[in-house]
């Protein structure tokens, strides 16, 4: 579904990604792991068009995405949930959700998708009229996930969803990702919780210093080997 072929990208004169190649298969959860500074978030920003591709290609269903503006990624069925969630703090929970279906092709389905969001995250129903800025970290993560799903994306990209959350909320987040995967959603997950990420993934990529140093089916991954590469031993 999504392919990266020898992609290079970075910030101005500073290159971060070095000939990164990877593939996310349709209907699978692809986990991207690695230490801080490995280039994981830079990779997601490059896929989403927030950073320019300086070499190589990003393709979706065989079609070149290089140069596609970020605001057109929804047209291709791609949604990103950022590490910092980026909720509209001065808008209500329900208004935030409606913003997830801003594209004209999704507006006719807003009511049905709101109900689907509330069934998936009952706490959001309870707080539908509350300002998003007053939510807890866990609730804000639920809102960010539900808002992204309002557009029914074919490809959902999730950056560090467990960051800063209590263990019980982390469990809820991973359970939600498992349900989405079971429903056939294609997911790319960047996550620092290596063991949890591998546990729900179909394929795992480990990045180190802007390069892919391991590409393996999740069931074949050795945590000992991952730890050796993770800490560059």
Encode pLDDT of 6-32 as tens digits.
Answer: 999 999 889 999 999 999 999 999 999
100 and 28 in one domain?
A: no
For the record, the structure tokens of 133 come out as: 């800025």
How many separate domains does the chain show?
Answer: 2
Q: Please indicate, yes or no, if residue 228 is contained in any of the structural domains.
A: yes
Same-domain status, 114 and 199: no
> Which pLDDT band, with edges at 50, 70 and 90, does 226 fall under?
confident
Compute the average pLDDT of residues 134-146: 92
**Same domain flag for 3 and 54:** yes
Residues 160 and 73 in one domain: yes
Q: Which two tokens stand for residue 53?
A: 């591709």
Alpha-carbon span 49 to 90, nearest angstrom: 27
Full residue range of the structural domain in which residue 3 is found: 1-77+153-172+183-233
Q: What is the pTM of this model?
A: 0.90
Give the mean pLDDT of 108-116: 87
pLDDT digits (tens, 9 = 90+) for 77-97: 999 998 888 889 999 999 999
Question: Are residues 117 and 63 both part of a single domain?
Answer: no
pLDDT digits (tens, 9 = 90+) for 155-207: 999 999 988 888 988 999 999 999 999 999 999 999 988 999 999 999 999 99
Same domain, 213 and 106: no
In a domain, 198, yes or no: yes
Within this chain, do residues 124 and 91 fall inside the same structural domain, yes or no?
yes
Tell how strand 29-33 and strand 53-60 pair up.
unpaired
Q: Residue 211 sits in a domain of what CATH number?
A: 3.40.50.300
85: left (phi > 0), else alpha (psi -120 to 50), else beta? left
Please report where in the chains the tokens 């057109």 appear, as a residue: 72
pLDDT at 106: 67
Assess whether 71 and 158 both reside in one domain: yes
Helix axes 167-182, 137-149, angle to 10 degrees: 10
Q: Two tokens at 45? A: 């920003």
In a domain, 29, yes or no: yes
Residues 161 and 61 in one domain: yes
| Adjacency order of strands within the sheet including 29-33 | 78-81, 155-159, 186-190, 29-33, 203-208, 211-217
Within this chain, do residues 187 and 214 fall inside the same structural domain, yes or no?
yes
178 in any annotated domain: no
Residues 140 and 165 in one domain: no
In a domain, 177, yes or no: no
* Residue written as token pair 């409606």: 98
Q: How far apart are CA 208 and CA 206, in angstroms?
A: 7
| Same structural domain, 69 and 166 | yes
């Amino acid at each position: 579904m999504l392919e990266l072929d020898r992609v290079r990208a970075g910030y101005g004169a500073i290159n971060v990604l070095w000939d990164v190649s990877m593939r996310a298969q349709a209907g699978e959860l692809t986990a991207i792991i690695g230490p801080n500074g490995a280039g994981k978030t830079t990779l997601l920003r490059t896929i989403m068009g927030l950073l320019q591709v300086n070499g190589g290609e990003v393709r979706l269903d065989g079609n070149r995405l290089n140069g596609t503006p970020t605001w057109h990624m929804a047209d291709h069925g791609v949604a990103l949930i950022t590490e910092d969630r980026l909720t509209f703090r001065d808008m209500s929970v329900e208004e935030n959700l409606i913003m997830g279906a801003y594209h004209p092709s999704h507006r006719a389905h807003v009511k049905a998708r709101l109900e689907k969001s509330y069934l998936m995250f009952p706490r959001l129903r309870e707080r539908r009229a509350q300002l998003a800025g007053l939510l807890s970290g866990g609730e804000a993560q639920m809102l960010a996930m539900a808002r992204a799903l309002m557009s029914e994306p074919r490809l959902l990209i999730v950056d560090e969803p467990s960051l800063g959350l209590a263990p019980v909320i982390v469990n809820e987040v991973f359970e939600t990702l498992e349900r989405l995967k079971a429903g056939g959603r294609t997911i790319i997950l960047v996550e620092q919780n290596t063991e949890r990420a591998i546990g729900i993934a179909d394929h795992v990529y480990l990045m180190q210093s802007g390069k892919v140093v391991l590409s393996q089916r999740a069931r074949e991954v050795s945590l000992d080997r991952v730890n050796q590469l993770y800490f560059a031993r």
